[in-house]
Amino acid sequence: MRFILIGTLHEVFESAAVSDSPEDLRLARCGPRDITLYTRPGCHLCDEAKAAIAPILREFAAVLHEVNVDEDEVLKERYGWDVPVIFIGQHKAAKHRVDLAQFRKQLRDAEAR
């Protein structure tokens, strides 16, 4: 699987869809072992991404926080149908598909910061 987009929370916060929503505030406090998966029910790419990263999360003792974008109007507006989106800490790591080698490297690099 392969994700293409990489960015920072700063880039997300610069977008027009950013707010002081509880989710934005939670994400801003995340550390390098906090993994956020933005998803929605019935999303097969989301299910595939979650299953694919599970062994890597265990390897790094990382904690997965799943967020249903349909339950938050800000997130629904921000991501629309562009799920899954995965953040490592405050940095966007992937969107749609996961490149597992790249994801592992991103986790390693996040811990080194």
Q: For residue 13, is pLDDT > 70?
A: no
The mean pLDDT value of the chain amounts to 88
Q: For residue 4, is pLDDT > 80?
A: no
Q: For residue 5, is pLDDT > 70?
A: no
Banded pLDDT at 113 (limits 50, 70, 90): confident
Q: For residue 21, is pLDDT > 90?
A: no
pLDDT tens-digit profile of 40-91? 999 999 999 999 999 999 999 999 999 999 999 999 999 999 999 999 999 9
DSSP state of 15: S
For residues 78 and 15, the answer to whether their CB atoms sit within 8 Å is: yes
- Rounded CA separation 1/111 (Å): 23
Count of CB atoms within 10 A of residue 71's CB? 11
What's the predicted TM-score (pTM) here? 0.82
The string of DSSP letters for 39-108 reads: E-TT-HHHHHHHHHHHHHHHHTT-EEEEEEGGG-HHHHHHHTT---EEEETTEEEEESB--HHHHHHHHH
For residue 17, what are the CA distances in angstroms to 20, 21, 51, 68, 98?
Answer: 10, 10, 29, 17, 24
